[in-house]
Amino acid sequence: MSKPNILYIHSHDTGRYIGPYGHAIPTPNLQRLAERGVLFRRAYCAAPTCSPSRAALLTGQSPHSAGMLGLANRHFRLRDFNQHIIHTLKGAGYSSALAGIQHLSGRRYHGGADDVGYDKVLTEDRSQTHIAAADFLRSQPQAPFWLSVGFFETHREFPTEHAVNPNYAQPPALFPDTPGTRQDMANYIAMAQILDEKIGHVLQALDDAGLRENTLVIYTTDHGLAFPDMKCNLTDHGIGVALIMTGPAPFSGGRVIDGMVSHIDIFPTLCDLLDIDEPDWLQGRSMLPLLTGERDAIREELFAEVSYHAAYEPKRAVRTERYKYIRRFDGRRSPVLSNIDDGHTKSEWLEAGYAESDIAPERLYDTWLDPMERVNLVGSAAQAEVLSDMRARLDRWMRNTDDPLLQGHVPAPPEAELNDPDGLSPRDPYLPS
């Protein structure tokens, strides 16, 4: 078989809140994609914040190793664009094209593509992303190619005029079932439907061009929903992501894989699939043994991090099959409200006193008995051995990856646009430079 084309489709802030993960959110095109391919039930991002998450996936390493400590639209940038996967694929004969968001350089969400090094930038207009991608596919591009299709959906601001009735919307389990949270979720569902329609437009073009049989389609998102305690948080509500891969065997059959995988595993998986030598900076593991059925698991642990989002909020986490350990490094005991997107749910939480919440500097959760990650076991004598093990795992990873937090406060670029961690909203004025 010739080398497959790779169609990489990615959305903003979607978590696992789509139909194929069992939610009452009509996304029929993503459902069909999953039923043709492989759905990973336990996929996680390496950072629940936009640019660091994408940097990890596309360079196959932790965000701090890639140098991506904050948001591209706030003047953070990848340390070495040559580590982007398109350059490794170019050495294997691939061309590259971008439609829509790339989020690794430039002030705008969809700006600065030339820094990355794509052969073709089809559009940076987020309203035209699906159209430009479909036109590219129907043009019968020379194979093999990597096509990145980056959607703004399902980032806030959600649409407010739509046909989704909030009376029948179910908010995520973290939140009270109130008219406000139902309206917030209905607005999200409406945008998820728009996302699915646009993805369907691209997939139809793939079929029309006769390219489906030799194209690997990868769909994922950067992190969890843009709701409190989800996006920018290291619980599974923030780092749990959808991941669907569909294409020639072993990416077929309507299968589900339960083994834990990280976004940083996608790059080495493609190297393994295409018989490309892995670059020496990769930190992930090939998922092919999971896909072929050779193994049920490829990793005992995975890691995630936040340094900067709208504001500085340094924290790190390790997750095993059962346990999650999170450590904060800024000395705060209260939420960083400027790292939470505004919306109905945030407003209701603030009215209920969320700003005065006490957040422990260390947290340990048993994700089997406490999947909502609400009961902190750090003080439990029965879990002392687990806590010691999880602390050691995180410390070892931070040393092995030369995490800058080991040296204390992590500075931002001089030109970075940052909010005050004590502020109320990411819309507040930036801190003085």
Average pLDDT of the segment spanning 82-101:
96
Give pLDDT, residue 107: 40
Give the Cα separation of 262 and 43 in Å (integer). 6
Note whether 71 and 309 are within 8 A (CB). Answer: yes
How confident is the model over 259-289, as pLDDT tens digits? 999 999 999 999 999 999 999 999 999 999 9
Q: How far is CA 407 from CA 138, 283, 297, 392, 399, in A?
A: 51, 22, 34, 18, 11
Q: Which run of H or of E encompasses 53?
A: helix 50-59
**∠ Cα 61 62 64 (to 5°):** 125
Q: List strand residue ranges (DSSP E) for 192-311, in order.
A: 215-221, 240-241, 243-246, 255-257, 261-262, 301-308
The count of C-alpha atoms lying within 13 angstroms of the C-alpha of 317, restricted to the half-sphere facing its C-beta, is 27
Other CB atoms within a 10 A radius of the CB of residue 140 amount to 10
Give pLDDT, residue 106: 65
Give pLDDT, residue 109: 36
Q: In this structure, which CATH number among 1.10.760.10, 3.30.460.80, 3.40.30.10, 3.40.720.10 belongs to the domain 5-299?
A: 3.40.720.10
Tokens of 6: 């790779």
Burial class of residue 352, CB neighbours in 10 A (0-12, 13-18, 19+): exposed
Residues forming a β-bridge with 304: 317
Token match 């569902």: residue? 189
Give the Cα separation of 22 and 305 in Å (integer). 27
**Residue 111 — very low, low, confident or very high, per pLDDT cuts 50/70/90?**
very low
Q: How far is CA 401 from CA 307, 317, 404, in A?
A: 15, 14, 9
**The pTM is what?**
0.96
Pairing type for strands 240-241 and 5-11 reads: unpaired
How confident is the model over 410-433, as pLDDT tens digits? 999 999 999 999 999 999 999 997
Give pLDDT, residue 433: 76
The full DSSP string for 261-281 is EEGGGHHHHHHHHHT-PPPTT
Give the Cα separation of 226 and 50 in Å (integer). 11
Give the Cα separation of 176 and 114 in Å (integer). 45
> What sign has the CA pseudo-torsion 161, 162, 167, 173?
negative
Give pLDDT, residue 108: 41
Residues of the chain with CATH 3.40.720.10: 5-299
- The helix, strand and coil proportions of the chain, stated in percent and rounded to the nearest 5, come to 35, 15, 50
Amino acid at 412: A
Tokens of 209: 């061009």
Give pLDDT, residue 2: 84
Taking 60 as the threshold, does the pLDDT of residue 115 lie above it?
Answer: yes
Question: Taking the mean position of all CA atoms in its chain, how far away is CA 32?
Answer: 21
How confident is the model over 182-205, as pLDDT tens digits? 999 999 999 999 999 999 999 999
**Residue 1 — very low, low, confident or very high, per pLDDT cuts 50/70/90?**
low
How confident is the model over 376-423, as pLDDT tens digits? 999 999 999 999 999 999 999 999 999 999 999 999 999 999 999 999
Q: State the average pLDDT for the chain.
A: 96
Determine the topology of domain 302-407 in CATH: Arylsulfatase, C-terminal domain (3.30.1120)
Give the Cα separation of 305 and 319 in Å (integer). 11
Average pLDDT of the segment spanning 11-21:
98
Q: How far is CA 99 from CA 202, 320, 417, 425, in A?
A: 11, 36, 26, 30
User: Which has more pLDDT, 167 or 104?
Assistant: 167
Amino acid at 160: T
Of 55, 34, 53, give the one whose Cα is nearest residue 44: 53
Residues of the chain with CATH 3.30.1120.10: 302-407
How confident is the model over 320-340, as pLDDT tens digits? 999 999 999 999 999 999 999
